[in-house]
């Protein structure tokens, strides 16, 4: 694995590395960790790779690694959003597989370009929608698919954070800086966490959003992107829904909550208590399912420890990498988001911005 991004002080690149290596099917051997060559080198030392394989740019990494018999098989893209497209194109053109972080790109037109490239590429392109790796999210998907709830009537998904409640981008906080810069982020909260909620809703409900009405707001004065979003949803079977995404929700850490209501029963999953899934029936009975107990095969496969031994974000991420390693070996379980899923996410982000406040169809055109 060659990592693009994940330099000193960054967030998700190091998580990719830990997760990818958890099952010893993947090893980080090279990287272009930063735009600053010295910082890329520093990161390489920290990751304990051969210092010669900590490169000054991803183009240098791709060129040099291709010359090696033990060169990287795939790259991970964990940079700010505007670099997702060029990094993915360069890797795919070089015959490398790609695991990219979300959102797919900064803009919808970039996503269309990348989807076309991925469709003709020799090697796979996939996206790391972290939350689809949790065992009980996979169990929720199974329960819905197998009809435990009856036909889905309503989906409510909330993703609230409070860390951008103040204009910390003006105080030099790196993660806030590029996320609030339209040229680098593309969109604000809707693209940063709204798209996670969107993917989680479709992934678990097994239904597609067809229409929606998005109210995007910027509540911190002077901020250049949205930081608070309320979206009404309609699904392809007529189900209704609501998606809340906010980064100004003071006091919230990473409140990702999912509720799905069917005709006969409902389910609820909370990311900050990820090892349980509640199922509630019409008669008032509540059943709590626990990770590590008798669940469906996909949830069992996604669990490493016996019940009562908490697993979390890193293990969920590692599940994506286990799927990815199998995919590279020719075995696709269909759970990883591909370029068409990435394009759906970008179409949602784009339409939410363009049709702000009006009902709009979610149209995915290549």
Q: Which residues bind ligand NAD (CB under 6 A)?
A: 4-7, 10-13, 32-35, 58, 78-81, 83, 101-102, 128, 130, 174-175, 178, 192
Handedness of CA 240, 344, 356, 164 (dihedral sign): positive
Q: Are 83 and 77 in contact (CB under 8 A)?
A: yes
DSSP 8-state code for residue 200: H
Cβ closest to ligand NAD, residue 101 vs residue 311? 101
Least spacing, CB of residue 194 vs ligand NAD, in Å? 11
Q: What are the φ and ψ backbone dihedral angles of 63, each rounded to 5 degrees?
A: -60, -50
Least spacing, CB of residue 29 vs ligand NAD, in Å? 16
Residue with nearest beta carbon to ligand NAD: 7
Q: Are 95 and 220 in contact (CB under 8 A)?
A: no
Least spacing, CB of residue 16 vs ligand NAD, in Å? 9
Least spacing, CB of residue 80 vs ligand NAD, in Å? 6
End-to-end CA gap in the chain: 29
Least spacing, CB of residue 35 vs ligand NAD, in Å? 5
Q: Which two tokens stand for residue 356?
A: 């702000």
Contacts of 176 (CB under 8 A, 6+ apart): 163, 164, 168, 169
Least spacing, CB of residue 176 vs ligand NAD, in Å? 9
Q: Characterize 114-130 residue by residue with b for buried, 16 or more Cβ atoms within 10 angstroms of its Cβ, and e for exposed.
A: bbebbeebebbbbbbbb
Contacts of 109 (CB under 8 A, 6+ apart): none
Tell me the sheet residues that pair with 287.
279
Planar angle of CA 337, 342, 345, nearest 5 degrees:
115
Q: Are 346 and 49 in contact (CB under 8 A)?
A: no
- Nearest residue to 76 via CA among 10, 120, 141, 137: 10
């Amino acid at each position: 694995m060659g990592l693009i991004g994940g330099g000193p002080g960054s967030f998700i690149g190091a998580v990719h590395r830990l997760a990818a290596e958890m099952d010893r099917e993947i090893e980080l051997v090279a990287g272009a960790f930063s735009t600053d060559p010295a910082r890329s080198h520093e990161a390489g030392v920290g990751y304990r790779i051969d210092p010669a394989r900590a490169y000054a740019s991803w183009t240098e990494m791709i060129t040099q690694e291709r010359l090696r018999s033990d060169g990287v098989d795939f790259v991970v893209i964990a940079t700010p959003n505007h670099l997702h497209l060029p990094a993915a194109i360069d890797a795919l053109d070089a015959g490398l597989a790609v695991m990219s972080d979300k959102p797919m790109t900064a803009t919808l037109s970039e996503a269309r370009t990348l989807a076309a490239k991925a469709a003709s590429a020799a090697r796979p392109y996939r996206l790391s929608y972290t939350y689809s790796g949790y065992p009980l999210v996979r169990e929720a998907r199974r329960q819905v698919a197998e009809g435990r709830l009856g036909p889905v009537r309503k989906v409510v998904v909330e993703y609230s954070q409070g860390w951008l409640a103040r204009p910390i981008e003006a105080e030099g906080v790196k993660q806030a800086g590029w996320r609030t810069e339209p040229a680098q982020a593309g969109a604000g909260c809707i693209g940063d966490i709204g798209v996670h909620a969107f993917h989680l809703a479709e992934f678990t409900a097994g239904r597609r959003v067809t229409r929606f009405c998005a109210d995007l707001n910027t509540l911190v004065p002077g901020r250049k992107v949205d930081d608070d979003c309320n979206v009404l949803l309609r699904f392809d079977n007529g189900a209704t829904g609501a998606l809340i995404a906010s980064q100004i929700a003071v006091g919230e850490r990473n409140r990702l909550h999912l509720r799905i209501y069917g005709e006969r029963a409902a389910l609820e999953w909370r990311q900050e208590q990820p090892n349980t899934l509640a199922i509630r029936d019409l008669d008032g009975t509540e059943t709590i399912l626990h990770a590590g107990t008798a669940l469906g095969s996909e949830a069992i496969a996604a669990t490493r420890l016996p019940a009562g031994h908490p697993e979390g974000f890193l293990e969920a991420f590692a599940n994506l990498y286990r799927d990815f390693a199998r995919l590279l070996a020719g075995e696709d379980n269909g759970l990883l988001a591909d370029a068409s899923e990435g394009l759906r996410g970008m179409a949602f982000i784009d339409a939410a911005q363009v049709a702000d406040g009006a009902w709009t169809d979610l149209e995915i055109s290549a």
